A and B are shown apart, each in its own frame.
Chain A
Amino acid sequence: AQSVTQPDIHITVSEGASLELRCNYSYGATPYLFWYVQSPGQGLQLLLKYFSGDTLVQGIKGFEAEFKRSQSSFNLRKPSVHWSDAAEYFCAVGVENAGNMLTFGGGTRLMVKP
């Protein structure tokens, strides 16, 4: 079965600094990979997704992620963080023929210092 690990439970960065959130997955074939963001009291919003093709994917709000098959990773990056980026970030993996089921990582809480 597939699984997702987000090694960092909390990350604090200064506003304007760069950001990288780590995500590692376990799955035998190429998975479908996603990053979602959850603001307090809100549902999850899709930031970006990878299905195939170019391993560097661009998303909304200035985020990007890079799929590295050799490292089973799909890390999320942003060159300059804004205070409004403070939220919980979830990496997820989907597999074919699994009824659209997404398996989520445990999440990383991002805090932004002024």
Chain B
Amino acid sequence: DTAVSQTPKYLVTQMGNDKSIKCEQNLGHDTMYWYKQDSKKFLKIMFSYNNKELIINETVPNRFSPKSPDKAHLNLHINSLELGDSAVYFCASSPRTGHYGYTFGSGTRLTVV
């Protein structure tokens, strides 16, 4: 049973489209994250949520909007996709704020054409 699952695993879409990536964790963790890994493998945090409350929003364009309907889910919606949004997006979770034991999902490879 996958601890942190992301769907879809691959996403190819045209510029200007709107798309969503879903993330679910079954670990009972309080804190969830979205990280972006660019083509050079550089990983950078985008958002952090603790118990459905936004904790970190790291200078991400407004086109990116996270949504946490409950503490087990953190979805990422992207409007008006641009070529530069192509990357691998990782969801992760940790037991609580102050606990750095991240569990990562396997990633969603987004390709914008």
Chain A interface mostly helix, strand, loop or mixed? strand
User: Is A114 located at the chain interface by the 8 A CB criterion?
Assistant: no
Interface flags for B36-55 (1: CB within 8 Å of A; 0: not) read: 00001111110010100001
The verdict on A102 contacting B90 (CB below 8 Å), with A43-B4, A43-B106 known, is: no
User: Is B66 located at the chain interface by the 8 A CB criterion?
Assistant: no
CB-based contact B48/A99 at 8 Å: yes
Interface flags for B79-98 (1: CB within 8 Å of A; 0: not) read: 00000000000101010011
The verdict on A107 contacting B90 (CB below 8 Å), with A41-B106, A99-B48, A99-B97 known, is: no
Task: Please count the residue pairs between chain A and chain B whose beta carbons lie under 8 angstroms apart in the complex.
Answer: 60
Q: How large is the interface on A (under 10, 10 to 19, 20 to 34, 35 or more residues)?
A: 20 to 34
Enumerate chain B interface residues (CB-CB to A < 8 A). Answer: 4, 31, 33, 40-45, 48, 50, 55-56, 58, 90, 92, 94, 97-102, 104-107
